[in-house]
Amino acid sequence: MYTPHTPEERQAMLRAIGVERIEDLFVDVPAKYRYPKMNLPPAMTEMEATAQMQSLAEANEQVGKDLISFLGAGAYHHYVPAVVDHILRRGEFYTAYTPYQPEVSQGTLHAIFEYQSLMCALTGMEVANASMYDGATAVAEAVNMAYHVFRGKRPKAVLAPSLHPQYIATTLTYYGHSDREVVIPEEGPTAEPDVVLKYVDDRTSLVMVQYPDFFGRMYDFTELAQAVHERGALFGVAVNPMALGLFKAPGEMGADIVTAEGQPLGIPLSFGGPYLGVFATRKKYVRKIAGRLVGETVDSRGQRAYVLTLTAREQHIRRARATSNICTNNALMALAATVYLGLLGKQGLRQVAELNYHKAHYAAQRIAALEGYELAFPNTPFFNEFTVKTPVPASQILQALLDEFDILGGYDLGQDYPELDHHLLIAVTEMNTREQIDLLAEALNVIARRG
């Protein structure tokens, strides 16, 4: 199908090689392994495959079409302007490999340089890499970088218990049984952020917090960052990048590393991926950073040009002593974020962030006024997501919202924290209308009164 040779051409090529049959090209494979039977469905035409994939796609209930969604918890339903995907669909971008040959890759390299600049603008940091897989693996890489900054002499990382549970889980998988220690404070998931200090000692390389945290709360980390620095460790913050359109950048608070799940910046939900891992830090740690970095230079004709730089950090040069094993990252998703931020710019990002803020606060106020419901953290600022205490288990509420109202009502925190089984995490974005929010409030009221 995607193989262009005619039988005559194949014969001509076999003759040129000096063999008779195509099977002669595989005589180096032991005969007992050769030509296994593979039980796969017969080949389909494009028409048939399209029909099959369409029927699978239609078996899903879509956010925004079939379901009203207030579900976030690390992935958010936002508007993606038409331009973003039109640029992503240019074959020159998506059918290129990693830009190893700069003379024929200036499009990708130039865009990555812009991405690095935009991520620094947003986070208040000085250097950003070309991307990582997602928000979870970016946190794991932060733990790894901090370990290398102290040359293994500070093997411990302290992760705030209010970090996304899947980010914690991923980091534990990476380093769980190695010589690294990953410590999660035992004071419970919703403890105040400075609980981490108790666990910071002279063996600690990194303290990692989240902004907003998994429960939606936002804190000014300036003092905490200072306290962590006094103990000699690095301070890392995992952010929602859209919140940074409105809120103080972690760089202003003294962060040494900022990571993010970049999905809110123009990347569709797509059932969890591909998303975008953002990783930014201070320039003094640039030789410890993982992944690709693009730097500015000139070409032989005196033109400004871009190129992968400081590659001696990476696996293809340093092998077992590389700063990380990462090779392929999520470049096309970084391009999506770049185009998205280019379009929105200074005013647009602030506007959409404020829209999220106002709608979420309207929803919080409506829900908090309902009998039986209250905000779990009424005095802590939040962005577009907040935690509600519910009169009956959150799982029951979500089931009723889905069955009776076609609403995805949020995330049942009892899934990760049994003690929070009466807690619901609700996200509201620019995609939610006032009518939808009112409907959610009414539905929650109905469900509560019925008990």
> Rounded CA gap, 134 and 231, in Å?
29
Closest to another protein by CB, 200 vs 251, is 251
Q: How far is the CB of 442 from another protein (least distance, A)?
A: 16
Q: Are 132 and 330 in contact (CB under 8 A)?
A: yes
Closest to another protein by CB, 40 vs 371, is 40
Identify which of 231, 180, 172, 226 has the alpha carbon closest to the alpha carbon of residue 201: 231
Q: How far is the CB of 208 from another protein (least distance, A)?
A: 15
Measured between alpha carbons, how far apart are the two ends of the chain, in Å?
59
Closest to another protein by CB, 200 vs 253, is 253
Closest to another protein by CB, 103 vs 201, is 103
Q: How far is the CB of 131 from another protein (least distance, A)?
A: 7
Q: How far is the CB of 188 from another protein (least distance, A)?
A: 21
Kind plus residue range of the DSSP H or E element containing 127: strand 127-128
Q: How far is the CB of 114 from another protein (least distance, A)?
A: 5
Quote the DSSP letter at residue 133: S
- Determine the 3-state secondary structure of 333 from DSSP: helix
Closest to another protein by CB, 200 vs 429, is 429
Closest to another protein by CB, 352 vs 370, is 352
Q: How far is the CB of 202 from another protein (least distance, A)?
A: 22
Q: How far is the CB of 272 from another protein (least distance, A)?
A: 3
> Rounded CA gap, 256 and 207, in Å?
10
Closest to another protein by CB, 41 vs 451, is 41
Q: How far is the CB of 93 from another protein (least distance, A)?
A: 5
> Rounded CA gap, 407 and 63, in Å?
9
Closest to another protein by CB, 178 vs 198, is 178
> Rounded CA gap, 206 and 376, in Å?
29
- Determine the 3-state secondary structure of 310 from DSSP: coil
Which strands make up the sheet holding 127-128, listed edge to edge? 127-128, 277-281, 257-261, 234-239, 204-211, 156-159, 181-183
266 Rama sector, left if φ>0, alpha if ψ -120 to 50, beta otherwise: left
The alpha carbon of 113 is separated from its chain's Cα centroid by a whole number of angstroms, namely 20
